[in-house]
Every structure is written in structure tokens, then in C-alpha cells.
A and B are shown apart, each in its own frame.
Chain A
Amino acid sequence: MTDRILTTRMDAHPADSNVLARYEATGGYAALRTALASKTPEEIAAEVKASNIRGRGGANFPAGVKWGFLPPETRPRYLVVNGDESEPGTFKDRQLLERDPHQLVEGIALSAYALDVRQAFVYIRGEYPRPARRLQRAIDEAYEAGYLGTGILGSGFDLDITVHLGGGAYICGEETALLNSLEGRRGEPRIKPPFPAVEGLYAKPTIVNNVETLSNVPFMINQGGAAYDAIGPEGARGTRLFSLSGHVRNPGNKEIVMGMTWRDLIYGLGGGIPEDRAIKAWIPGGASAPWLLPEHLDEPVTIDDVGRLKTMLGSGAVVVMDETTCVVKAAHRIVRFFAHESCGQCTPCREGGSWLERMLARIESGDGRMMDLDLLLDVSDNISPGLTWPPKMTTICPLGPSATAPVTSIMWHFRNEVEAHITGGGCPL
């Protein structure tokens, strides 16, 4: 059983895993050749469906199911690759773009073929010029070699890929905000439905998939969707890149088969906490995710198990906080992020996010009032009614409720420490 899919080439060939010659020499574009020579688009789509891969952008939605939502008749259709990766703690797509861009290009070409798409866009966050350059060079090479453009590999299939840089806005990772941004608008999420598969870019049917999701497609065609589906536990098939950061000895992206425990991930692959300090909490799936606690270390890392603990794997960003961490400061930093990144359309996110941020700042600096404790939760409740999991929302998109995750995390698990900031006029640590 293969336990790595995405990172084998880059690890084996650090000097040139990104260039075409190396990619071809290690089996690259074989899947595309096979597909164009002997497979129908439907067959390719069927492999992806059979793989049961769930999207790696954060929402964990099954890719095959999403592809099936395209209305059969309408053309043109577009494929948009989400490389906006801005969720604090996440840096996996960056590695895939920089180190194995052809894997993504081939994944895009296969997917476009399966979806009858002629034009694909890769939206890369503006702060990623280097990944964008690497990808652009790979695309240029692919055009040159006939893997892109008109009449690809002598078939009747045409495809253009355009790399589009963002302008610095996390919200553009949300797929409909991304589409607005790609259309030259403010990155404001759209009301759903209609979903992009029905009415997306330029109001045409559009599939939006994450960089990592599509980077897996060549494997699925080479080895078959069933082979992918055979990896990992049910509901969490395939391998997955986790971005490990914070207080760990060996930070970095870890490609794992899901199902291992958090302890395996943080203490095994991550090498534990520097100076063997105690772990205080960790964020299991990006800044939007409620935190997990030491008592959860032996829980399995799967989408469903984490959901059971009322949080999520999200974008696969694991941020570890050790005993020296001030939770108020940490929560403030995360809420500040969401307040800064709110698009500002919805009243609760725009006003509530910055209100929470300012309250936390006051508490952190010792100017908190006891009533702020309940107020923090009540304001959060007005953004995410009931403070349930999965979150309910009074907003258009989940960014607003995301800002409440760190607040509930500290209020429910570290209330004493928050209170001590108020009673002691500052951080007790």
C-alpha cells in the first residue's frame, strides 16, 4: 500500500522535481496520454468519483459528487483551481506549487478533459509569487511540449490555463469570493445557492477545487480510483498533507494516511514540543477550527472523528501551543485575523468580528471588565447562534462564525486564565 502520493517525487529529486524533464522521467503525463488516447471523459470522471476523495480546501466535500452537479448541457464550463491558501497555519499548497507544479498541471488537464472544460484558471494568493512563477513555468513547458493548448497530444482536446494572482485577501479562498475576484470584483462571497457548479465564473457552470485535491488526480488515473479509495479509513480516503506549525520540533508539511492519532502526528512526525514543554492546546484544522486539548491526543485524525469532537480538519493546518502560550493573546491574534479579513458585507461579521477583536485586546492588556466574559460569548452567539458545531450562522459565509472558534475555545476551556487577565490586570503567565 502506497502511503505517499503527492510528495514522493519532490523528496526523491529535490533539485529538479519541478521541471518537465524530471516529471516525465518519473512517470509524469502518462495519465494524460492514456486518458486522451483511450479513455472517455466520463471514464476519467468515474475514477475520480470512485476515489472518494474529499476536497482538501477545507470543506471536505466529495469531489466526485461536486463534479456531478454540473448541468449537462451548458457550455462553456470553467475549472478554477483554488490556490489562495491563506488560512493561518496552512502552507501545503505552496509546497505542491513550488515543488511539483506539473503534477497539478496534469491533474488540471485530466480534470478539464473529464469535465469538458476548455479554460482553467489557477487563482494563487498574491503573496505567493514564487509558487506562481514555478507553476507558470511548468505551464509554459507543458504548452511547449503539447500537454496544453490546442489539439493536446494529437487529440481533439484543447485547454488553456491562466494563472491569476490574488491581491491580498483571505476571503478570496472562499470559492464564490474567489470567482468574484477572478471576475475583477471585490472578493465578496456570493449568496448560495446558486452554487458555482451551476452558476459560477461569468455565471457559467464552474468547478472549484483546491490545489491539493487536483494534484491527486494523476495518481487516480494511473492507479485507478479504487486504489486511492483503498488508502485510509472510510470517509477520509487517500493521503493528506498536514501543515504542522507552532510549538513543535519538526514543523512542516506531513503527508499522512489519515487514521493515526494526534499523538503520532504531533509527537511522532512533529517530534514533540521543544524543550519538552507541556502541550496546552492545538488547532486541528486551521485558524477557523475550535481547539483540541491534551485529553484528545489519542483520538484518531480523521474527518469524522474530529467532527465528533466538535471541530474540524479544515485545511489540515495543525498549530501547536505549549504551556507558555497566553490563550488570550493567541485567541486575539486569530480573531484579529478574521476581523481584518472580513469582506465587510454582512453586518454580524463586519461589526461583530471587530468588536470581539477589540474586547480581546482590552482583556489582553488588562483593561477587561468581568461583564466582557459573557459579552464575548453573547456577541459570538449573535454571529453563530447557539455556538453549536457545525456552526450556525447569521452571516453569508462561514468566515464570520470562524472568528468565534477561538473565543469559545478559550472561554470554555480556559475561562480561569481569561478571568485572571481581568482580575490581575494583565497576563498571569
Chain B
Amino acid sequence: MTWSQKTDERAQAIIARYPDPRSATMPLLYLAMHEDGHLTEDGMREVAARVGLTPAQVQSVASFYTMYKRDRTGRYLVSVCTSISCMLLGADDVLAAVSEETGVADGDTDEDGLFSVEHAECIGACGGAPAVQVNYELVEGVTPEQGKALCAWLREARPEVVLGDEMQELFGGQRSFEWGPSETAGAVGPFPAFEPYGTAKEGR
């Protein structure tokens, strides 16, 4: 397997930004996820070859971080924060509700590859607790009912681009702070939507 020309160009541009190619390992791991939907062995091999490491070294780096999903991952990765501030405001119930609605247990992915559900450690939205991320796009102030509705909507609407503002509008509540102007870029898979890594798209 090799990467698409576009991904390849991005990889080269990223490597060029660092004094040492090894520094591009983490960005390239996101590119690899973008290519395959999750981080595959081939993806790690590809990254290794580009940054001058062995696949074992790349695996060592990738497995250190929680966001490089090395198992099959759903199109929508629903992360429910259950750290202290969110827990105090009922996050455990939100997680239960999300699991119930999707039929996916914490840490699992459904058969169709639509949903993965996980509990997350603090995602920096404590002022808007309980908080949920879908493909790392944030929704704050989510009640268990809203959590369910959010998942039902994802299943129905199947948005190609996951937009935080849209979800906040529809399913959110209390925010950590005013978010400012709305964002039109969002996530296209279970990895952060950040343009230089080629993972964001303009949405509706």
C-alpha cells in the first residue's frame, strides 16, 4: 500500500517544517489515519519509511498516545469526558446514555463501523461540563438526553463533516466560554480536524 499523491505531498510538506524528519512522526500518524480510517500496520510502516525509523519505533510512539487508534474505529468516535469536573456534573450518565443509544459499550466499535464510544480523560471543557467530543469536535453542556439525541442524529444525518458549532447548536448547553464566530471546518474521520494534516473540510 502507498499513500495517495495528495497525502504524499502533505507528508513532504510537514517533514520540511521540522529540523529533523523524526519530528514529523506524529503529524504523519494522523495522515496515516486519514488514509485508512484508523492506524494500520501498513500505515505505521509507511510513516516509518518516511521519517527514517523502524516500524517498531513508530509503533512505540503511536501506542503511547491515546488518539492513534490502532483498532478498527467507527466513522464517529464519540468521546465522553468522565474526568473530575464532568463527573461531578453527571458525565457517567451521559456515557451510559450514549452507550445505550448507540449500542456500543465504552471502548468498543459497532459492527457497521459507524460508532466508536469511549470515555475520555479531561478534554479541557470543564466549564461546559459534561462535555462530549465527536471526532474531537466539541459539544459542551450535554445532558444524557441530549447525548442520546446527538447519537441518533449522527446515525440519521450521517454528516460527512462533523461540525462543533452545529452540534453545539443542536445538542449543547452550558459552554466554558463564548465560542466566538462559528467554524465552517470540521472533522472527516476519527482524528482531529486540522488543515495542515489534511483532516479538516469545509462543512455546510
Q: Are B180 and A164 in contact (CB under 8 A)?
A: no
In this assembly, does B133 line the interface, its C-beta being within 8 Å of a C-beta of chain A? yes
Q: Are A89 and B122 in contact (CB under 8 A)?
A: yes
In this assembly, does A126 line the interface, its C-beta being within 8 Å of a C-beta of chain B? yes
Q: How many A-B residue pairs have CB under 8 A?
A: 201
**A129 CA / B27 CA spacing, docked (Å):** 13
**A16 CA / B27 CA spacing, docked (Å):** 29
Q: Contacts A125-B124, A136-B196, A341-B121; is A186 near B64 (CB within 8 Å)?
A: yes
Task: State which of A184, A246, A340 has its C-beta within 8 Å of the C-beta of B25.
Answer: A184
In this assembly, does B98 line the interface, its C-beta being within 8 Å of a C-beta of chain A? no
1/0 per residue, CB under 8 A from B, across A18-46: the answer is 10000000000000000000000000000
CB-nearest residue of chain A to B24? A184
Q: Are A251 and B20 in contact (CB under 8 A)?
A: no
In this assembly, does A371 line the interface, its C-beta being within 8 Å of a C-beta of chain B? no
Task: State which of A95, A127, A133 has its C-beta within 8 Å of the C-beta of B133.
Answer: A127
**A86 CA / B79 CA spacing, docked (Å):** 15
A245 to chain B, nearest CB (A): 4
Chain A residues in 8 Å Cβ range of B194 = 129, 132-133, 136, 163, 165
Chain A residues in 8 Å Cβ range of B196 = 136, 163
Q: Are A18 and B180 in contact (CB under 8 A)?
A: yes
Q: Are A91 and B66 in contact (CB under 8 A)?
A: no
In this assembly, does A317 line the interface, its C-beta being within 8 Å of a C-beta of chain B? yes
Q: Contacts A89-B122, A126-B67; is A162 near B88 (CB within 8 Å)?
A: no
Q: Contacts A126-B136, A129-B136, A287-B84; is A337 near B195 (CB within 8 Å)?
A: no
Chain B residues in 8 Å Cβ range of A168 = 65-68
Q: Are B195 and A136 in contact (CB under 8 A)?
A: yes
| Stretch from B2-10, B144-152, B171-179 that touches the partner | B171-179
Q: Are B66 and A333 in contact (CB under 8 A)?
A: no
Main SS class of interface, A: mixed
Chain B residues in 8 Å Cβ range of A246 = 84-85, 88-89, 126, 129
B45 to chain A, nearest CB (A): 16
Task: State which of A17, A99, A170, A243 has its C-beta within 8 Å of the C-beta of B126.
Answer: A243
1/0 per residue, CB under 8 A from B, across A88-100: the answer is 1111011100110
Q: Contacts A129-B194, A130-B138; is A91 near B88 (CB within 8 Å)?
A: no
Task: State which of A132, A170, A182 has its C-beta within 8 Å of the C-beta of B121.
Answer: A170
**A138 CA / B5 CA spacing, docked (Å):** 28
Q: Contacts A127-B192, A184-B25, A325-B88; is A15 near B181 (CB within 8 Å)?
A: yes
CB-nearest residue of chain B to A125? B124
A159 to chain B, nearest CB (A): 13
Which A residues between 311 and 334 are near B, CB-CB below 8 angstroms? 317, 319, 321, 325, 329-330, 333-334
Q: Contacts A165-B26, A186-B60; is A95 near B121 (CB within 8 Å)?
A: no
**A253 CA / B178 CA spacing, docked (Å):** 10
1/0 per residue, CB under 8 A from A, across B164-193: the answer is 100000000010111111010101000011
Chain B residues in 8 Å Cβ range of A17 = 180
B182 to chain A, nearest CB (A): 10
The size bracket of the interface on A is 35 or more
Chain A residues in 8 Å Cβ range of B195 = 133, 136
Task: State which of A99, A132, A186, A251 has its C-beta within 8 Å of the C-beta of B128.
Answer: A251
Q: Contacts A168-B66, A319-B126; is A183 near B23 (CB within 8 Å)?
A: yes
Q: Contacts A184-B20, A186-B60, A333-B84; is A252 near B66 (CB within 8 Å)?
A: no
**A186 CA / B124 CA spacing, docked (Å):** 22
Chain B residues in 8 Å Cβ range of A287 = 83-84, 122
Give 17 CB contacts A-B under 8 Å.
Answer: A15-B181, A89-B126, A91-B124, A94-B125, A98-B179, A133-B200, A163-B194, A168-B65, A181-B26, A186-B60, A186-B61, A187-B65, A247-B89, A251-B176, A287-B83, A330-B84, A340-B121
Residues of B within 8 A of A (CB): 17-20, 22-27, 29-30, 51, 53, 60-62, 64-68, 79, 82-85, 87-89, 120-129, 133, 136-138, 164, 174, 176-181, 183, 185, 187, 192-197, 199-200
Sample of 8 more A-B contacts, CB < 8 Å, known A91-B125, A187-B64: A94-B124, A99-B180, A128-B124, A129-B200, A133-B200, A169-B65, A184-B51, A245-B85
For the complex of A and B, the 3 pairs showing the least CB-CB separation, nearest first, are: A167-B65, A184-B25, A168-B66
Residues of A within 8 A of B (CB): 10, 14-18, 76, 85-91, 93-95, 98-99, 119, 125-130, 132-133, 136, 160, 162-170, 181-187, 202, 243-247, 251-253, 283, 287, 317, 319, 321, 325, 329-330, 333-334, 337, 340-341, 343
